[in-house]
Amino acid sequence: MTYCVGIRLDAGLVFLSDSRTNAGLDQIGTFRKMIIYERPGDRFMVLLSAGNLSISQSVREILQVEKIDNGHEPPITIWNATSMFDAVRVLGSAVRRVYDEDGPSLKAAGIDFNASMIFGGQIGGEAMRMFLVYAAGNFIEATRETPYFQVGESKYGKPILDRVITPATPLAEAAKCALVSMDSTLKSNLSVGLPLDLVVYKAGALQCEQIVCIDDRNPYFAMIHDTWGERLRQVFEGIDDPQWNGGDATHPLCVGSARYEAMRKIGHPSEKIV
């Protein structure tokens, strides 16, 4: 399994991925799910992938040479595209090419063509953009209302993102939030695992120096893991227990409701059990 998250902010972009592809009692597979395409001063792009590993690896390799015809020379590639929209079109074409080549064989073997990707970055002359790409090669774009995308095992890490991330969130805070999101997923799902790859990109830079691989010896991630768990317990213990009888309770649990009648059936005392 996999967990990857990409966040688009006013200040820049944050990408985080785990590296576990198989989990079992006697076999754990570790493969990098992030790849960076960079030409300093011209373009910076990051691809995160989830799903069938063979599909993802094929797409990543083909993407570097894939071309789409734009009606005149030269064809569009990720290296000459003048917009992130054109670059993600090339990625969609690469996905469809792998499907055309491998899809029938996979179907014959009873294997779904399963792949989803987050692709984001910036090309000189335009704003940062980020896309969620599906197995069919189609895609949607992140907006101010939806500033982050997840692929893979997303449910455990989603709540903290929903509560914290807005377009105005600072980069450092977003990186911290992404790591908390990942820690929550690691805690609850064996199929997601270390090491992690983290990229924090500053808007307009067209290159990135904040790239790190996080393993089980990383002191910051260890602090995140210990502190987040302890603070959650403190917050939980600080919330009042349920008070059923109301009375002087500030937040009584049991309050009158007509819905109780449909839920509760009362037997008459004279009725006998047969």
pLDDT tens digit sequence for 172-226: 999 999 999 999 999 999 889 999 999 999 999 999 999 999 999 999 999 999 9
- Within a domain: 182: yes
- Within a domain: 257: no
Q: Can you tell me the mean pLDDT for 148-156?
A: 97
- Within a domain: 270: no
- Provide the CATH number for the domain around residue 229: 3.60.20.10
- Within a domain: 175: yes
- Within a domain: 130: yes
Rg of the chain over Cα atoms, rounded to whole angstroms, equals: 24
d(CA 8, CA 103): 32
The residue ranking higher by pLDDT, 262 or 63, is 63
Give the end-to-end CA distance of the chain in Å, rounded to a whole number: 53
How high is the pLDDT of residue 89?
97
Whether the upstream peptide bond of residue 195 has omega within 30° of 0, thus cis, is: yes
Split at pLDDT 50, 70, 90, the class of 135 is: very high
The yes-or-no verdict on residue 243 having pLDDT over 70 is yes
Specify the range with the lowest mean pLDDT, choosing from 88-92, 93-97, 115-119, 258-262. Answer: 258-262
The yes-or-no verdict on residue 162 having pLDDT over 80 is yes
- Within a domain: 241: no
Q: Which domain holds residue 191?
A: 3-234
Split at pLDDT 50, 70, 90, the class of 257 is: confident
- Within a domain: 274: no
Split at pLDDT 50, 70, 90, the class of 273 is: low
Q: 269 vs 261, 262, 265, 272, CA distance in Å?
A: 18, 20, 13, 8
Percent of the chain past pLDDT 70, that is, above it, reads 94
Mean pLDDT of the chain: 93
**From start to end of the chain, where are the E strands?**
3-8, 12-17, 20-23, 28-30, 34-39, 43-51, 115-123, 129-133, 139-141, 148-152, 196-202, 210-214
Specify the range with the lowest mean pLDDT, choosing from 15-24, 164-173, 186-195. Answer: 15-24
Within 13 Å of residue 72, how many CA atoms lie on the same side as its CB?
0
CB 86 within 8 A of CB 80: no
The yes-or-no verdict on residue 56 having pLDDT over 90 is yes
How high is the pLDDT of residue 265?
73
d(CA 83, CA 76): 10
The yes-or-no verdict on residue 235 having pLDDT over 60 is yes
The yes-or-no verdict on residue 95 having pLDDT over 80 is yes
d(CA 44, CA 216): 28
Split at pLDDT 50, 70, 90, the class of 25 is: low
The yes-or-no verdict on residue 253 having pLDDT over 90 is no
How high is the pLDDT of residue 110?
96
d(CA 29, CA 54): 13
Q: Can you tell me the mean pLDDT for 64-85?
A: 92
pTM of the model: 0.92
How high is the pLDDT of residue 271?
67
d(CA 204, CA 125): 9
The total domain count for the chain is 1
CB 101 within 8 A of CB 113: no
Helices 84-108 and 53-63: angle between axes, nearest 10 degrees: 140
Q: Which amino acid is at 39?
A: R
Residues facing 47 on adjacent strands: 35, 119
- Within a domain: 18: yes
Question: Residue 261's CB: how many other CB atoms inside 10 A?
Answer: 9
